[in-house]
Amino acid sequence: MLNPGDRLGDWVVEARLGSGAMGSVYRCHHMVTQLTKAAVKVLDASVVGEGSPWFLREVGALERLRHPGIVHIRNPGVDEKRGLFYLAMDLEEGETLKDLLSIGAMPVYRVCRLFGAVAEALAFAHSNRIYHRDIKPSNIMVRPDGSPVLVDFGIATDLDATAESDGNEVGTPSYMPPEDRKSTRLNSSH
């Protein structure tokens, strides 16, 4: 776990935003200017060997996807002292769809607008042969203007990648595509 003030390349940690099966995401600012903010995903040192293909897959997917409904990559890096891989992305302000749904039901017009935009982002990713594979409320950020952005491409499938799957697919069971549920190692976090 990183602490406020720790550095990852040119990024200075401000606070931890959350964590998942493979690592944590931190709110950071650039060391030259505190105005430049990023969400920096850090692969846990304990899973660097087994998690590296997933990390590299996410970097590759996000480098190819430039769409207003998909989080933008800034730069990947390695902290050699700590043995950590990290990925800086645009810091998306707002709340996750999961947080918004916990407040209560949304008006139908808002749901239609939100899911129409999510479908557009997914169609763009699919047209680039990238499949997110873990679309769930906690992986959809809703900006203050109401527009959604897809985050966490950590288990995305890139149909153009040359690396074959190792058979240890992961995902959230209730959100996985049916074709991935047959032979997968399931992540029980929601």
pLDDT band at 152 (very low <50, low <70, confident <90, very high): confident
**CA dist., res. 79 & res. 63, Å (int):** 20
H or E element at residue 62: helix 48-64
Average per-residue pLDDT in the chain? Answer: 82
Q: Which of 79, 90, 134, 166 is catalytic?
A: 134
Extract the runs of DSSP E, i.e. beta strands, from the chain. 7-8, 11-19, 23-30, 37-43, 73-79, 84-90, 95-96, 130-131, 140-142, 148-150, 157-158
Say if residue 169's pLDDT is above 80.
no
pLDDT band at 178 (very low <50, low <70, confident <90, very high): low
Extract the runs of DSSP E, i.e. beta strands, from 31-175. 37-43, 73-79, 84-90, 95-96, 130-131, 140-142, 148-150, 157-158
Confidence at residue 174, expressed as pLDDT on a 0 to 100 scale = 61
Confidence at residue 98, expressed as pLDDT on a 0 to 100 scale = 95
Phi then psi for 85, rounded to 5 degrees?
-95, 140
Confidence at residue 64, expressed as pLDDT on a 0 to 100 scale = 83
Confidence at residue 84, expressed as pLDDT on a 0 to 100 scale = 86
Kindly report the pTM of this predicted structure.
Answer: 0.78
158 labelled catalytic:
no
Say if residue 110's pLDDT is above 50.
yes
Confidence at residue 131, expressed as pLDDT on a 0 to 100 scale = 85
* Mean pLDDT within 87-91: 92
Say if residue 162's pLDDT is above 60.
no
Tokens 């557009």 belong to 120
Q: Would you say 22 and 44 are in contact if contact means Cβ atoms under 8 Å apart?
A: yes
Phi then psi for 116, rounded to 5 degrees?
-65, -45
Say if residue 61's pLDDT is above 90.
no
Say if residue 176's pLDDT is above 60.
no
pLDDT band at 75 (very low <50, low <70, confident <90, very high): confident
Confidence at residue 79, expressed as pLDDT on a 0 to 100 scale = 87
